[in-house]
Amino acid sequence: MFVFAAFVLALVAVVQWRATAREATAARMYPPQGRIIDIDGTPVHVLVAGSGPDLVLIHGASGNVRDWTFDLVDRLSGRYRVIMVDRPGLGWTGRLPGKSGAWNTAHESPMEQAELLQKAVEIIGVDNPVVVGHSFGGAVAMAWALGKPDDTAAVVMLAAVSNPWPGDLGWTYTVVGTAAGGALLVPLASAFVPPSYVDSSVESIFAPQPAPDGYAHHVGAALVLRCESMRANAQQVNYLRPHIVKMSARYGTLGMPFEIVHGDADTIVPLSVHSEPLSRQIAGARLTVLQGVGHMPHHSDPDAVIAAIDRATARAGLR
């Protein structure tokens, strides 16, 4: 028994040491690119580029602002003030009070995330922005619009989560989103997940298109392998559906311009489950379907995405 206990303690120590070392390396390689704004004790990472009408970009699951800085922001910053924000627990934004911890299953709802990010951008003078949400970020964009309908100029949804989906999300989110999974499995994954797994995961997100050369390195995939980020991501995704059910019942109240862009080859957030229904739920919403495009339209067809942003801005009377 003593030998077994000693082995377990040694294993825990090795896992903790390796996970901590990898987190330190990730932090050193991918430091904050923008400004850290304190919102009632929660740090929020905000990156601003360019000038023009305010455009807020909200990233998806397992992401951070670097997804936007790979290419898209350079295409937009000549005509917009682009405000990119890390969502809670991801990138360099902290978690809300009471949400963190190894054995905690508390999560930040889309409404809570939207409220936190709204407070942060208000400090830098953002008012009545066009809000762009990709994937999970679309749920936060919807919450943003529902929470501040009079102060949201327009919404652009990119391969975005908006409606309840059938079935479950797979064992990974189900298990890691639990208290035991977050406490026991997350440190193991953080310590030992190989780079090859990260690369294959990135490729699967872009499929059927290949990931752009250098994307995985630029986006800082190692940041999401930090223990608290893995827990935040899994918990937020695992418990998202009930929030979507409640939110979707209110979509018909929204009157701002909506532009929706979605690839018909997206198997992660299917077009038929999310964007097609959303285009019918909101009066005047415009749906652009990209043939053969997967889950990353802002990389696979940036011209179509920029055209949608330009239309939303014009429809809102900002240009």
Digits of tens for pLDDT over the chain (319 positions)? 655 455 445 555 666 767 688 888 889 999 999 999 999 999 999 999 999 999 999 999 999 999 999 999 999 999 999 999 999 999 999 999 999 888 888 899 999 999 999 999 999 999 999 999 999 999 999 999 999 999 999 999 999 999 999 987 776 777 777 787 777 788 788 888 887 888 899 999 999 999 999 999 999 988 999 989 999 999 999 999 999 999 999 999 999 999 999 999 999 999 999 999 999 999 999 999 999 999 999 999 999 999 999 999 999 999 8
Residue spans per domain, the chain: 2-315
- Both tokens assigned to 194: 């190989």
Nearest-angstrom CA–CA distance, 103 and 131: 34
Sorted by sequence, the CB contacts under 8 Å of residue 220 that are 6+ apart come out as 26, 29, 30, 64, 66
Main-chain dihedrals φ then ψ at residue 39, nearest 5 degrees: -120, 95
* pTM summary value: 0.94
Residues in Cβ contact with 279 at an 8 Å cutoff, skipping those fewer than 6 apart: 260, 285, 286, 287
Which DSSP category does 264 fall into?
T
Pairing of strands 130-134, 258-263: unpaired
Cis before 208? omega within 30: yes
Q: Where are the alpha helices (DSSP H) in the chain?
A: 2-29, 66-69, 72-76, 110-123, 136-147, 171-176, 179-180, 186-192, 195-206, 215-219, 227-238, 240-248, 275-281, 297-300, 302-315
Phi and psi angles of residue 127, each rounded to the nearest 5 degrees, phi first:
-145, 130
Q: Do strands 286-290 and 42-49 pair parallel, antiparallel, or not at all (unpaired)?
A: unpaired
What does the alpha-carbon distance between residue 93 and residue 224 come to, in Å, rounded to a whole number?
Answer: 12
Question: What CA–CA distance (Å, rounded) separates 71 from 301?
Answer: 11
- 3-state SS, residue 94: coil
Topology of the domain comprising 2-315: Rossmann fold (3.40.50)
Torsion from C-alpha of 275, 138, 167, 91, nearest 10 degrees: 150
Q: Which amino acid is at 36?
A: I
